[in-house]
Structure 1
Amino acid sequence: MSPPAADQPARDPFVPDERVEALLIATPPGWEEVALGNLHATMSDHAHAEKKAALSALSLLNANPARDELVYKMGKLAREEIRHLDQVIGHMRRRGWSLLADRPDRFAGALLSERRGGGAEGLCDRLLVAALIEARSWERLNLLGRALRSAGDVELGEFYGELARSEAGHYRVFVELADAECPGVDVHGRLSELAQVEAGVIADLPHEPRIH
């Protein structure tokens, strides 16, 4: 990915490597405390996020049946997201917690509103928005895992640390698919544009006990 232009914000050093290179800023301080303060709500929101990720992957597969590589990778990703959903619900059940009602996701909604129409540009945007959601999920799950370990909940903290690594891998899958499936589109230029939008949304949203 090309370095940001002079009028773009420099990427924060919190991004460790190219697995999530599109992220421009870190979550403002204090989110971890809010997430731990109502862990039931945070985990319930995470379960819904995994559900929606699986549904999104299946929707992409359904809309592009002739794109063999996309179909294969979205099928695999949907299976992984369903497994993560099952694991999160399992951890909740061990705490005696039920799944709470899903709530509108302002973060994802703001990114989805930036998508262009059909054709190669529309597919590119759909893949890149998914990539950015996965990248931010990497950061949030990593933060949550570290906070849980610091609070003494080592088992759940390790679980979230492992999930964070999966989210980083999913980010790369979506970016690589955009490169492969959208010839003629400036994929990385568009990723930079969407990353600026994502950074603005993260900076403006209040902290809540949810993953996004």
Structure 2
Amino acid sequence: MKIGIIGGTKLAVTLGNKYLSRGIDVIFGVRKDFLPKQIEWKILDMQQDKLFPYCDAIDKADIIFLCCENEHLPQICACLISSGNHDKIIIDCTNGQYNPELGCNTSYIQQTAGHNKIVKAFNNLGLDYPKSDPLELLKETYFCGDCDVDKIKIKKLIELIGFKAIDAGKLQNAFLLEAFYHLRKEISFIKNSQNDYHFKLMSV
């Protein structure tokens, strides 16, 4: 199994390195003008087989994590349209802009790329993770999707790197998962705090 992490973000390199440390074959897809400035990216760039353009990484991978900035989603969706990618599981880790009328990124990806094998996961971490959780206290992520077989695979992948996987139902609930992210960012803004806020699920 080869995982493709798409996007030149902190979340992308963090998740990718976590899977690499578990012995998983990981490649990274970045835009063609991407400059590896952070030390983690420089280390990956020194390896011949780790950094590829978006389309190449998507073509080579079996499971694809989208951890990119929103401005690059149209280009990535164009790569996903390729017929050879329709059977690959896409894990959307992104969050749309906070605007209830615009829907969510997951719906955009599904409609634009015509791709049905999509699971939402890891979006509660944010693209700046682990900056948003410097002590690594956050140990859970929510996921949703329509295919039970795909969700079992993703649950195992989530748990492999130490997170508790919380099933949030069908893919139609992706907008609720994005709302979780926006709510915690709104709380941080209202409190005018340098700290970040996260939610924890409890059974009572």
- TM class by shorter chain equals under 0.3
TM-score norm. by structure 1 comes to 0.27
State the structure with more CA Rg.
1
Normalized per residue, the structure richer in helix is 1
Q: Which has the higher contact order (CA 8 A, sep 6+)?
A: 1
